[in-house]
Amino acid sequence: MGKTRKLIPPHGGKGLTCCLLEGAELEAEKKKAEGLKKITISPRAKGDLIMMGIGGFSPLTGFMTKEDWKSVCEKLLLADGTFWPIPVTLDADEDEAGSLNAGDEIALYDPEGDEIMATMKLTEKYEMTGADKEFECEKVFMGEGTPTAEEFWKIAKDDHPGVQMVMNQKKYNLAGPVKVLSESDYPTKYAGIYMRPSESRKIFEERGWSEIAALQLRNPMHRSHEYLAKIAVEVCDGIFIHSLVGKLKAGDIPAEVRVKCIDTLVKNYFVEDKVLQGGYPLDMRYAGPREGLLHATFRQNYGVSRMLIGRDHAGVGDFYGMFEAQDLFDKIPYHSHPDECTDPGKALLCKPLKIDWTFYCSKCDGMASLRTCPHGKEDRVLLSGTMLRKGLSEGSPIPDHFGREEVLEILRGYYAGLTEKVEVKLHGAATGEQK
């Protein structure tokens, strides 16, 4: 590959905006943080802080103001017109935030890791009423599966983990720029996998890659994922298999198990120098199509130019249409009319690589999609991470061609060692009931 081609620039037109301190500046800020008022943060906010620290959330350098929050919910734009699909906010309760005023400096404390993750200079404190939270949920989480607010709220409070997360947030949101002091235990726990955007960009440049696709994973790779990745390798310089290593919901498979599965697949079934595996520290927001946009936004910061978007990307239950995430990319600001954006850096430059529903077809005798396979449902092995997790958790036989045997062996070993098992619910997109 030629070395003259350039990687896609980071999102926002400001380069990588990294808030992570180092050296003497870090030590001085840590010392100062010990004397500041501590605000306890959630696992979600911890992941957001790390991403702001390493430049993964460029151009964000802090938690959103009410103006930014409202604009993102309504328009998928920050108040300054920069594309951003999902609110990035920090909540605090009355006891913690009641006495705070603009200009105050606070320390953001992670109780799970027992460390101060960052300091923040407060620019705004705004109350999140029940109506505000419902507004955010309807804008961010409501999809084609529940097209009206009435249908949405009938099931969302009980069945949508993203909605539950927002509705359970504390009374206030705190906004302001941050100085990040730690990457938690990610660099050691996931050594060789956890990666800063500057690191992935360096590897891509060393390999001479400029057109790179990313595969988003929160489930172990099954044959459909493998097929998607290989399509990307055919049309791009390489594939970045980028796994979520943050917190998941009960019943999801831990990151270290998923990483082992990917390692096995890459070693046995890929040309290794066409693949890079990485991990990022976010929690899932379970925001369906909007989360697909977020995946593309921060992947652009990692140097990725194409985001693989397949069936039910980041889906939750039956809240979204099977290809709603693909369709949303065509509706976002500046996408159809990039000339409307006076500053191209404010537009999302990472494009979707849209793939139809994929499966193994016995008559085709191989992996196929709805675009390439003329046969019926009875000839297809429909693949989904949810179905795989359900079958493994219940000790059920896994259909032929669902996953590679080497991977299934790793997963069976994991499930055999569990003392407590969580029920895995199937939904239409997982079973093939939707079309």
219 is catalytic: yes
Q: Which of 196, 219, 290, 389 is catalytic?
A: 219
Q: Angle, nearest 10°, between helix axes 66-75 and 130-141?
A: 40
**Look-up: residue for tokens 């960052």?**
118
Q: Which of 196, 218, 290, 389 is catalytic?
A: 218
Q: Is residue 404 within 8 Å of 412, Cβ to Cβ?
A: no
Residue 17: exposure state from Cβ atoms within 10 A (0-12, 13-18, ≥19): middle
Element holding 301 (H helix, E strand): helix 288-302
Residues 423 and 394: their CA atoms lie apart, in Å, by: 9
Residues 261 and 409: their CA atoms lie apart, in Å, by: 9
290 is catalytic: no
3-state secondary structure of 20: strand
- Residue 115: alpha-carbon gap to chain centroid: 24
3-state secondary structure of 63: strand
Residues 293 and 75: their CA atoms lie apart, in Å, by: 13
The secondary structure of 198-263 as a DSSP string is HHHHHHHHHHT--SEEEEEESS---HHHHHHHHHHHHHSSEEEEEEE-S---TTSPPHHHHHHHHH
Residues 40 and 61: their CA atoms lie apart, in Å, by: 19
Residues 225 and 129: their CA atoms lie apart, in Å, by: 41
- For residue 383, give the DSSP letter: -
The two tokens of residue 355 are: 């793939």
**Nearest 5°: phi and psi at 398?**
-95, 125
Distances (CA, A) of 111 to 42, 46, 62, 114: 8, 10, 20, 5
Q: Which residues are marked as active site?
A: 218-219
